[in-house]
Amino acid sequence: MKHKVIALLGSILLGLPLGSAFAAETTQAPSLKIAVVNVQQILQQSAKVTDLSKKLEDQFKPRQQKLSDQQKSLQDEVDKLKKDSSTMAQKERDSLQKKVELDRAALVKQVVSYQQDLNKEQSQIMQGLLSDLNGIVSGIARKNSYNLVLDAQAVVYAPDSTDITKQVSEQFNRK
């Protein structure tokens, strides 16, 4: 009887480390393969982004110049009103003041319209660029079996071996 108890205790003691090791092995989470990519760096250094910015600037430059000319004209009217208002007839002064107010309102309206159009165009371009970047990052992640890819700007520390910025940048600039 004593031998049976010792054998049972021995098997329990031997079984516990094996059992606990087996349990730890089966419940252990699979290791994650993580990469980081510096999206801001890619966008800042991309010739594609520079070209798109130049095209956008060229597209909106005539409107911007027109607004600038109108602003200068309005400022000239305001300056004339300030300078000559004391020597003007009341009717002339009222007429110029009304013209300044109407021109100012028209200019504000045009500036708001310009800004909305510019923002809309910038947004569409940025959505296209980010869509391209997301596709490239997803492709690299699938190819290299990454479980997670984070923007480097949101990461405090990551070893250089996890940085895929160069790969993404090369593909992005080729596309």
In Å, the largest CA–CA distance within the chain is 127
CATH number at residue 57: 3.30.910.20
Q: What is the mean pLDDT of the chain?
A: 85
Instruction: Note whether 76 and 125 are same-domain residues.
Output: yes
Helix axes 47-84, 90-143, angle to 10 degrees: 170
**Alpha-carbon span 69 to 92, nearest angstrom:** 24
Collapsing DSSP states into helix, strand and coil, what is residue 159?
coil
**For position 28, what pLDDT does the model report?**
59
Instruction: Note whether 7 and 18 are same-domain residues.
Output: yes
Instruction: Note whether 155 and 168 are same-domain residues.
Output: yes
Full domain range(s) for residue 14: 1-30
**Alpha-carbon span 10 to 85, nearest angstrom:** 110
Instruction: Note whether 95 and 125 are same-domain residues.
Output: yes
Residue 163: which of 49, 45, 50, 41 has the closest Cα? 41
pTM of the complete model beyond 0.75: no
Instruction: Note whether 99 and 19 are same-domain residues.
Output: no
| pLDDT tens-digit readout, 28-75 | 557 889 999 999 999 999 999 999 999 999 999 999 999 999 999 999
Q: What is the pLDDT along the chain (175 residues), one digit of tens a residue?
A: 444 434 433 334 334 443 433 444 445 557 889 999 999 999 999 999 999 999 999 999 999 999 999 999 999 999 988 998 888 889 998 999 999 999 999 999 999 999 999 999 999 999 999 999 999 999 999 999 999 999 999 999 999 999 999 999 999 998 7
